[in-house]
């Protein structure tokens, strides 16, 4: 593997002013004619190398004159022109094989549709080019294909020409008036149906909106379309950003490595992120469609109009755009719910990444394969860093700063430095220290201690920060960390005054402060505090850190029931549940789990919450949700997945039986024929009712089983149908198990023609914790519903089993405890030569081997070694394997 370093960045020696492509699609082969207008920027180099992979060069000419073999050189990485002129037109003609392209990068075929994926470095599989984001060009693309097979021909920008050709073929020509890097290029050809709508921008321009899908999916486009219009309006109102072309197109394809792609004017989506209707799509699915449609749309400004100079800057567009889409979703639904869901992902998956061998800062200093860096760190932690900036600046200055950023850099390819510079210039704040968030990896840990002085009525909080070593850096400098907080007393929130604040400066809401931690250790002193308070710390999860404070269970109950900050109420529940589960883990290790009775505080708190009618039901469901096995694992020094599973289950069963009456009320009070709406209050009702059902089905009575089967039979939407099926399938009760087998078969028969529903059916079985999962998963791989070339299917079965079924993945089979690890390695090896991007992603669970006890860790390591020893392993997989073994 060859490593690329940020410090080696050099601007391109040539730009490509104009790019003209003729893409002629035939059965089995496609011809790409490229005319590129090159212009040297400074001193003329001796050679110019263009990127190109898997291309068969047929013709090559400069300024119309064919080159002889002394004038260029071609290899498997690209094309080198010797002694190129200062300014010239390069014409190349290549042959490519989309039908055989299983990597799903470049031009490929998904079912009947030809489509492209160019980010990050896929364009080089279409033609020879300067495939780097700081080369921005004007694109004219002419596509031709058989008219019957491909009646729809699309590319970026506006359609400027089209018509029939000989031999039953036709063509369309598209021009994109905005200069763009080639990673934003897109082309689609196929037999597609469309839904069309219109949007009038704030300045009164009419934009045509089109969603292209296979005919059978026309009934699943409404939600994406309304989400798109909401996103367009929101970006005008919140960021002052208007859309800039006459047409905006979305195309749905079934085979896609990512969720979706923001190509200029022609977004290409994984069907899983665009299609939705109540019968086939869960509430989570609806919310995902809304979020991803908005995310890709928002990229039009944060990514396309202002793009990245190089791929080290990926978080410039991704972190910012995730922050934008999260705020959009918060405004469309429930803000606290959205925050809780995002933080849960961040601090299980991203924190684990930050503590593992692939840890990297949100602006990495090096990489081997850029597609391995589309990570939770770049996206989710990147978004947290933008969120901290937004909170430090406040709404008015943050808006000033983003306006400045967009205006100053419109049409440019820039770095994260320029983003922070705009924040500094607009606000006058010095963000020098804050910038360490961009360069240092690892999750900071805050240890908080406090002291109350009754006589002086002073309360002091001492906060220490430390960040563990990560592969790129052992010694960390102190971060600038905003800690939002308040203090709870007997009668409620206390008025706050820091010792160095003057009475005139006190904010209007005097019960809330943001402490800015900049030193390794700092003490904040509050005066005139009448009693020893319970501190509510890191409200709203104001920074991506771990926080330790020795709360008593009574303190946690106080916060869970009375904090004004919704996030911290949830957080207190999580901490309380975590402590209870940790007690149970201790019992497990001492072989006394069967007799273990949990501390009653948790159930007392849950009961009071359930009886509080004023609570948002979605928040209630989240507060009652025990920490996930992944989150519990993230909190363990050495991970014991078996203890975690059984301890968590024991606590869940206890909660379920103690509160059974209240849960039963929730389930039976719900009318399953109630009309489905994907609105947050309805989603909230369903989520609480289904959480209740989940608890009841841990140790179901005959009545509970009946409630579950009734819901399964009568549900008019996939959320309720899937919740009932899940509760049934994961229930260990013998009667339930018999019912579950029939229900799974019936469900498949009912939904076999809906691939996205079949994916959910596969995923449910892959994550079912009941012993025997590996055998079940192996059987699923032989099922007609499975397709080993389709990323969504691979994710639904293999990823879900290895990531979301820790008990079975880590215990294997009765005879072979390492069978899960070997299974994963075999799947990776099979996939690696076909689709290296997806293969490399599958490796993640094995990379965590150091966190597990001796035998397990070594068995995981052995499989990594097996991958490392494989001749011809892809660079993608090699990078992850080699870094993990180091
Ligand atoms: N498709 C990915 C995203 O939108 C990469 N840009 O985040
Ligand atoms: Zn993105």
Question: Is 296 noted as a catalytic residue in this protein?
Answer: yes
pLDDT in tens, 89-144: 999 999 999 999 999 999 999 999 999 999 999 999 999 999 999 999 999 999 99
For the cut 90, the answer to whether the pLDDT of residue 773 exceeds it is yes
**Model confidence pLDDT, tens digit, residues 717-763:** 999 999 999 999 999 999 999 999 999 999 999 999 999 999 999 99
Cβ–ligand 1 distance for 370 under 6 Å, the answer no
CATH class of 752-886: mainly alpha
Which pLDDT belongs to residue 472? 87
Would you say the CB of residue 756 lies under 6 angstroms from ligand 1?
A: no
Mean local confidence (pLDDT), 61-72: 98
Confidence of residue 505 (pLDDT cuts 50, 70, 90): confident
What's the gap in Å between 21 CA and the centre of ligand 1? 24
3-class secondary-structure state, position 627: coil
Q: pLDDT for 201-240, tens place per residue? A: 999 999 999 999 999 999 999 999 999 999 999 999 999 9
- DSSP state string for 369-387: -GGGG--HIIIIIHHHHHH
CA distance 55 to 572: 57
Which of the four pLDDT bands, split at 50, 70 and 90, describes residue 672?
A: confident
pTM of this structure: 0.99
CATH of 445-478+480-550, one of 3.40.50.1820, 2.60.40.1840, 3.30.1330.10, 1.20.1530.20: 2.60.40.1840
pLDDT tier at 9 (50, 70, 90 boundaries)?
Answer: very high
Residue 658 Cα distances to 598, 607, 662, 664, angstroms: 11, 9, 9, 12
**Cα–Cα distance measured from residue 625 to residue 629, given in angstroms and rounded to the nearest whole number:** 11
Predicted interface score ipTM higher than 0.95: yes
Distance CA 45, CA 85 (A): 9
Q: What is the pLDDT of residue 260?
A: 99
Q: Which CATH class is domain 4-191?
A: mainly beta
Which pairs from 811-818 meet CB under 8 Å and 24+ separation?
A: 811/641, 811/642, 811/771, 812/774, 813/774, 813/775, 817/855, 817/856, 817/859, 818/859, 818/862, 818/863
Confidence class for position 861, pLDDT limits 50, 70, 90: very high
Domain 445-478+480-550 in the same topology as domain 4-191: yes
Our answer on whether the CB atom of 441 is closer than 6 Å to any ligand 1 atom is no
| Pocket-testing residue among 291, 294, 296, ligand 1, by greatest number of atoms within 8 A of Cβ | 296
Which CATH superfamily is 307-439 part of?
Neutral Protease Domain 2 (1.10.390.10)
- Centre of ligand 2 to C-alpha 635, Å, is 29
CA of 379 to the centre of ligand 1 (A): 9
Which residue in the list 119, 214, 296, 879 is annotated as catalytic?
A: 296
| Contact (Cβ atoms closer than 8 angstroms) between residue 312 and residue 413 | no
Whether omega before 542 lies within 30 degrees of 0, making that bond cis, reads no
Ligand 1 centroid to 122 CA: how many Å?
13
Mean pLDDT of 74-92: 98
Q: Is 262 in the pocket of ligand 1 (CB under 6 A)?
A: yes
Mean pLDDT for 173-194 is: 98
Which of ligand 1's atoms lies nearest the C-alpha of 374?
Answer: 5
Is pLDDT at 705 greater than 80 in this prediction?
A: yes
Residue ranges of domains in the chain: 4-191, 307-439, 445-478+480-550, 752-886
Find out whether the beta carbon of 258 lies less than 6 Å from any atom of ligand 1.
Answer: yes
Interval 418-458: pLDDT, tens: 999 999 999 999 999 999 999 999 999 999 999 999 999 99
| Average pLDDT over every residue of 156-185 | 98
Question: DSSP 3-state assignment of 842?
Answer: helix
| CA 296 to ligand 1: nearest atom | 4
Please state, in angstroms and as integers, the Cα–Cα distance from residue 516 to each residue in 346, 399, 441, following that order: 22, 21, 20
Which of 105, 318, 370, 373, when mutated, tests ligand 1's pocket best, judged by the most ligand atoms within 8 Å of its CB?
318
Report the nearest-CA residue for atom 7 of ligand 1: 318
**What token pair was written down for 314?**
């990926």
Each residue's pLDDT tens digit, 370-428: 999 999 999 999 999 999 999 999 999 999 999 999 999 999 999 999 999 999 999 99
Name the pLDDT band for 320 (thresholds 50, 70, 90): very high
Instruction: Tell me how far CA of residue 505 lies from CA of 242, 351, 497, 498, 755, in angstroms.
Output: 38, 37, 10, 11, 59
In short, whether 296's Cβ falls inside 6 Å of ligand 1 is yes
Residue nearest to atom 5 of ligand 1 (CA): 261
> To test ligand 1's pocket by mutation, which of 180, 260, 382 has the most ligand atoms within 8 angstroms of CB?
260
């Amino acid at each position: 593997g060859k490593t690329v370093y940020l410090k080696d960045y050099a601007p391109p020696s040539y730009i490509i002013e104009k790019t003209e492509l003729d893409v002629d699609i035939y059965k089995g082969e496609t011809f790409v004619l490229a005319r590129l207008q090159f212009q040297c920027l400074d001193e003329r180099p001796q050679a110019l190398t263009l990127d190109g992979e898997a291309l068969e060069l047929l013709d090559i000419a400069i300024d119309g004159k064919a080159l002889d073999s002394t004038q260029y050189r071609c290899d498997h990485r690209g094309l080198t022109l010797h002694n190129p002129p200062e300014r010239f037109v390069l014409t190349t003609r290549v042959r490519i094989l989309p039908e055989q392209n299983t990597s799903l990068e470049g031009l490929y075929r998904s079912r009947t549709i030809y489509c492209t994926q160019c980010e990050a470095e896929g364009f080089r599989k279409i033609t020879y080019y300067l495939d780097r984001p700081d080369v921005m060009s004007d694109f004219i693309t002419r596509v031709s294909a058989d008219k019957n097979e491909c009646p729809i021909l699309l590319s970026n920008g506006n359609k400027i020409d089209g018509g029939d050709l000989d031999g039953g073929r036709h063509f369309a020509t598209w021009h994109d008036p905005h200069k763009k890097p080639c990673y934003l290029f897109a082309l689609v050809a196929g037999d597609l149906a469309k839904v069309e709508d219109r949007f009038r921008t704030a300045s009164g321009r009419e934009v045509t909106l089109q969603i292209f899908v296979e005919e059978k999916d026309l009934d699943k486009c409404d939600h994406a379309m309304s989400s798109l219009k909401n996103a367009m309006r929101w970006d005008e109102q919140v960021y002052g950003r208007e859309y800039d072309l006459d047409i905006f197109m979305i195309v749905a394809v079934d085979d896609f490595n990512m969720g979706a792609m923001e190509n200029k004017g022609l977004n290409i989506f994984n069907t899983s992120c665009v299609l939705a209707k109540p019968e086939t799509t869960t509430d989570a699915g609806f919310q995902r469609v809304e979020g991803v449609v908005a995310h890709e749309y928002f990229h039009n400004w944060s990514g396309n109009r202002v793009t990245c100079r190089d791929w080290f800057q990926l978080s410039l567009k991704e972190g910012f755009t995730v922050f934008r889409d999260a705020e959009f979703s918060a405004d469309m639904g429930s803000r606290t719910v959205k925050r809780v869901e995002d933080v849960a992902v961040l601090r299980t998956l991203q924190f684990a990444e930050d503590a593992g061998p692939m840890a990297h800062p949100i602006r990495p200093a090096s990489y081997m394969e850029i597609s391995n860096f589309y990570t939770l760190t770049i996206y989710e932690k990147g978004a947290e860093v933008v969120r901290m900036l937004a909170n430090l600046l406040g709404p008015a200055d943050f808006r000033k700063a983003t306006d400045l950023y967009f205006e100053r850099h419109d049409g440019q390819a820039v770095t994260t430095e320029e983003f922070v510079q705009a924040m500094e210039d607009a606000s006058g704040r010095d963000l020098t220290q804050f910038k360490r968030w961009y360069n240092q990896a690892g999750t900071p840990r805050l240890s908080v201690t406090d002291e109350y002085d009754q006589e002086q009525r002073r309360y002091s909080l001492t906060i220490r920060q430390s960040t563990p070593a990560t592969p790129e850096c052992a010694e960390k400098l102190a971060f600038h960390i905003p800690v939002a907080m308040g203090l709870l007393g007997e009668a409620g929130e206390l008025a706050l005054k820091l010792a160095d604040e003057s009475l005139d400066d006190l904010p209007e809401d005097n019960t809330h402060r943001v402490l800015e931690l900049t030193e390794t250790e700092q003490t904040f002193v509050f005066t005139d505090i009448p009693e020893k308070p319970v501190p509510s710390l890191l409200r709203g999860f104001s920074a991506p850190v771990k926080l330790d404070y020795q709360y008593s269970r009574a303190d946690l109950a106080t916060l869970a029931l009375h904090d004004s900050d919704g996030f911290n109420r949830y957080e207190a529940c999580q901490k309380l549940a975590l402590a209870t589960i940790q007690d149970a883990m201790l019992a497990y290790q001492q072989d006394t789990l069967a007799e273990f009775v949990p501390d009653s505080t948790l159930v007392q708190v849950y009961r009071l919450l359930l009886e509080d009618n004023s609570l948002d039901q979605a928040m209630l469901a989240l507060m009652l949700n025990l920490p996930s096995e992944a989150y519990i694992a993230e909190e363990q020094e050495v991970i014991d997945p078996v203890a975690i599973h059984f301890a968590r289950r024991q606590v869940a069963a206890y909660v379920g039986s103690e509160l059974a009456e209240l849960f039963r009320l929730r389930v039976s009070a719900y009318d399953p024929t109630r009309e489905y709406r994907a609105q947050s209050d309805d989603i909230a009702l369903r989520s609480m009712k289904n959480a209740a059902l989940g608890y009841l089905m841990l140790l179901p009575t005959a009545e509970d089983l009946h409630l579950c089967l009734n819901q399964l039979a009568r549900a008019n939407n996939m959320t309720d149908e899937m919740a009932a099926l899940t509760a049934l399938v994961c229930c260990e009760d013998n009667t339930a198990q018999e019912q579950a087998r029939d229900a799974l078969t019936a469900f498949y028969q009912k939904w076999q023609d809906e691939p996205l529903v079949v994916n959910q059916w596969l995923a449910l079985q892959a994550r079912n914790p009941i012993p025997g999962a590996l055998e079940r998963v192996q059987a699923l791989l032989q099922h007609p519903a499975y397709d080993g070339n389709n990323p969504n299917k691979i994710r639904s079965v293999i990823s879900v089993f290895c990531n979301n079924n820790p008990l079975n993945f880590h215990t294997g089979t009765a005879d072979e405890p390492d069978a899960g690890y070997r299974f994963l390695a075999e799947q990776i090896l099979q996939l690696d030569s076909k689709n290296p991007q997806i293969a490399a992603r599958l490796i993640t669970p094995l990379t965590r081997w150091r966190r597990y006890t001796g035998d397990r860790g070594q068995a995981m390591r052995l499989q990594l070694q097996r991958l490392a020893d494989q001749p011809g392993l892809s660079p993608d997989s090699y990078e992850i394997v080699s870094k993990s073994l180091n």
